[in-house]
Structure 1
Amino acid sequence: MRLKLSLIPQNGKFSRPNKHAVQGFIYHMLKGTEYGQRHDQPKFKFFTFSDFFVDREGKATFLVSSPDSGFIRALQSAVKERESVYIGNDEYRVVEIKKFKLPLRNRFQTGSPIVIYRNSEEDEYFKLHAHRDLWFFLERLKDNAERKYNAFYNDDFILEGPLFDRLIPKVRNNNKLDVYVKVVKNGVPFPVIGSNWELLEKERIEPQERKFYRFIMEAGLGEKNSLGFGFLNPIRGEGRA
Structure 2
Amino acid sequence: MKWGEINYQVINMRILLYLKANRTVIQDKITNSKYYSGMHGWIYGKLKNTDYADMYSKKGFKKFCFGNLYPIRNQKIEQDKEYKVWISSPDEMFMINLLSNINIYEKINLGEFSFDLEKIEPKPSKRIEDFFLLKSETITNVCLPVDGNLKPKAITLTKDNNKFKKQLSKNLIRKYNYFSKEDIEEDFDLWNNVKIKEIPKSEHAIKLNFTKESDNWFDVIGARYKFNLGNINEKQKKIFQLCFDLGFGERNTFGFGFVNGKQIIKGR
| TM-score (structure 1 length as normaliser) | 0.85
CA distance in 1 between counterparts of 2:185 and 2:45 reads 35
In structure 2, the partner of 1:102 is 126
- Within a 5 Å distance, the mapping from 1:19-34 to structure 2 comes to 19-34=36-51
Q: What is the one-letter code of the residue matched to 1:168?
A: K
Query: What is the count of residue pairs matched by the alignment?
Result: 232
Identify if the C-alpha distance between structure 1 residues 118 and 208 changes in structure 2 by more than 3 Å, giving closer, same or farther: closer
Does 1:145 pair with 2:169? no
Identify if the C-alpha distance between structure 1 residues 55 and 196 changes in structure 2 by more than 3 Å, giving closer, same or farther: closer
In structure 1, the partner of 2:236 is 209
Query: Secondary structure, in 3 states, of the residue corresponding to 2:138?
Result: coil
Single out whichever of 133-142 and 114-123 deviates more from structure 2.
114-123
**Among 210, 221, 230, which residue is 1:193 paired with?**
221
CA distance in 1 between counterparts of 2:243 and 2:132 reads 12
Structure 1: state its 5+ residue gaps. Answer: none
**Among 5, 29, 46, which residue is 2:17 paired with?**
5
Higher share in helix: 1
In structure 2, the partner of 1:52 is 69
| TM-score (structure 2 length as normaliser) | 0.77
Q: 2:108–2:115: 8 Å Cα contact kept in structure 1?
A: yes
Single out whichever of 20-29 and 85-94 deviates more from structure 2.
85-94
CA distance in 2 between counterparts of 1:216 and 1:106 reads 16
Structure 2: state its 5+ residue gaps. Answer: 1-12, 26-30, 74-79
- Within a 5 Å distance, the mapping from 1:1-241 to structure 2 comes to 1-10=13-22, 12-14=23-25, 16=32, 17-54=34-71, 58-80=81-103, 83-88=106-111, 91-100=114-123, 101-104=125-128, 105-121=131-147, 122-128=150-156, 132-158=159-185, 160-163=188-191, 165-172=194-201, 178-185=203-210, 186=212, 187-197=215-225, 199-237=226-264
TM-aligned CA deviation for residue 49 of structure 1: 1.0
Once the two structures are aligned, what percentage of the paired residues are identical?
22
Q: 1:138–1:162: 8 Å Cα contact kept in structure 2?
A: no
Identify if the C-alpha distance between structure 1 residues 46 and 31 changes in structure 2 by more than 3 Å, giving closer, same or farther: same
Q: What is the one-letter code of the residue matched to 1:32?
A: N
Q: What is the one-letter code of the residue matched to 2:152?
A: E
Q: What is the one-letter code of the residue matched to 1:13?
A: T
Query: Secondary structure, in 3 states, of the residue corresponding to 2:206?
Result: strand
TM-aligned CA deviation for residue 75 of structure 1: 1.2
CA-based RMSD of the aligned residues comes to: 2.4
TM-aligned CA deviation for residue 208 of structure 1: 4.1
Identify if the C-alpha distance between structure 1 residues 188 and 201 changes in structure 2 by more than 3 Å, giving closer, same or farther: same
TM-aligned CA deviation for residue 31 of structure 1: 0.7
CA distance in 1 between counterparts of 2:112 and 2:203 reads 29
CA distance in 2 between counterparts of 1:123 and 1:18 reads 23
TM-aligned CA deviation for residue 157 of structure 1: 2.1
CA distance in 1 between counterparts of 2:145 and 2:237 reads 30
Identify if the C-alpha distance between structure 1 residues 119 and 109 changes in structure 2 by more than 3 Å, giving closer, same or farther: same
CA distance in 2 between counterparts of 1:230 and 1:194 reads 9
